[in-house]
Amino acid sequence: MATPLGADVILSALRAEGLTVVEVGAWRTRNRNHKGPWGGVHGVMVHHTVTRGSAATVAMCRGGHSSLPGPLCHGVITKDGRVHLVGNGRANHAGLGDPDVLRAVTAETRLPQDDEATVDGNRAFYGFECENLGDGEDPWPDVQLDAIERASAALCRAHGWGAGSVLGHLEWQPGKPDPKGFGMDDMRGRVAGRLHVPAPPAPPKPTKPVVDLATLIRAATLDPEQRGTPVSYAGVRVIEVALVDEGLLQKRFLDSHYGWETRAAYSRWQESLGYRGRRPGQPADGVPGSATLARLAKKHNFAIVA
């Protein structure tokens, strides 16, 4: 038995296992804790949804339906392999199950046949609902099976559990068929294999290119007079790439040199935003200012320092 993981720990554990995680609404505080206890927790339970369509599946698992209020799980694993977090705490997913199965999961021994339903599973298990019709014919894409493996391993790793702490709904509550279409022994084998290696490092956060406005202004003012194509300031290339994307500069002028062509292209960008020269009929000067550069940065995802 273990204390349930906090929301931040769950999120970090899933991402550290290489998963794409979608946070759905106020999932951190969405639960059924007012209806009964949450924890200690003993394992991770896998389900199928009997639904088609990711958006509808996630909405149903978050909100529930007429006979069972949501959340109906903690995470929804859609066919594209994404994990949608919809709840944190007690969730209506496991229902009553077999006490012998609970003892076996806790001890991580071979699961017995489930033949009674007398123990509250909603307090004891994390639940992942997986998008599938559950008819034995709807396919399970490799990317989805990989996500089920990774999500199960992530929570087991965070708790220090082995693969024996992973079970299917059909192994807990008599009469339940889910998940249908793959074997839980096979899935536990996959989880066991993953837990024998360290978690992959979290992917690095994407970083935005950064341009220095003061240096850019100096380049736009002084560099056009230089001959050839000197690389006078590497940050100029960030601006040139954006201007090429806007159709204002030809690719052959991608050279990190704020030459006359780059200056003319930036002038056209300024004019597209309504800026003109100081005298009537005079074109914009092509020297970046904070307002026009901020508009370009927002559209083309780079950062500015003054």
The domain segmentation of the chain, as residue ranges, is 7-195, 210-305
Instruction: Identify the pLDDT of residue 226.
Output: 77
**pLDDT band (50, 70, 90) for residue 277:** confident
Average pLDDT, the chain: 93
Question: Could you report the per-residue pLDDT of 44-100, keeping only the tens digit for each?
Answer: 999 999 999 999 999 999 999 999 999 999 999 999 999 999 999 999 999 999 999
E strand or H helix at 188? helix 184-195
Residues 6+ apart with CB under 8 A from 144: 77, 78, 79, 80, 81, 130, 131
* pTM of the predicted model as reported, rounded to 2 decimal places: 0.67
Q: Residue 125: beta bridge partners?
A: 43
Instruction: Identify the pLDDT of residue 74.
Output: 98
E strand or H helix at 96? strand 96-97
Which segment of 12-16, 92-96, 138-142, 301-305 scores lowest on mean pLDDT?
A: 301-305
Fold of the 7-195 domain? Lysozyme-like (3.40.80)
Question: Could you report the per-residue pLDDT of 193-217, keeping only the tens digit for each?
Answer: 999 976 556 556 667 899 999 999 9
Rounded to an integer, the average pLDDT of 184-200 is 87
Question: Could you report the per-residue pLDDT of 59-75, keeping only the tens digit for each?
Answer: 999 999 999 999 999 99
| More confident site: 227 or 86 | 86
Q: Which two tokens stand for residue 299?
A: 């559209």
pLDDT higher than 80, residue 142: yes
Rounded to an integer, the average pLDDT of 17-43 is 96
Residues 6+ apart with CB under 8 A from 33: 89, 90
What's the angle, vertex CA 217, arms to CA 215 and CA 219, rounded to 5?
A: 70
Is the Cβ–Cβ distance between 120 and 96 less than 8 Å?
A: yes
First to last CA, the chain: 54
Instruction: Identify the pLDDT of residue 26.
Output: 96
Q: What percent of the chain has pLDDT over 70?
A: 96
Instruction: For 210-274, list the strands marked E by DSSP.
Output: 210-212
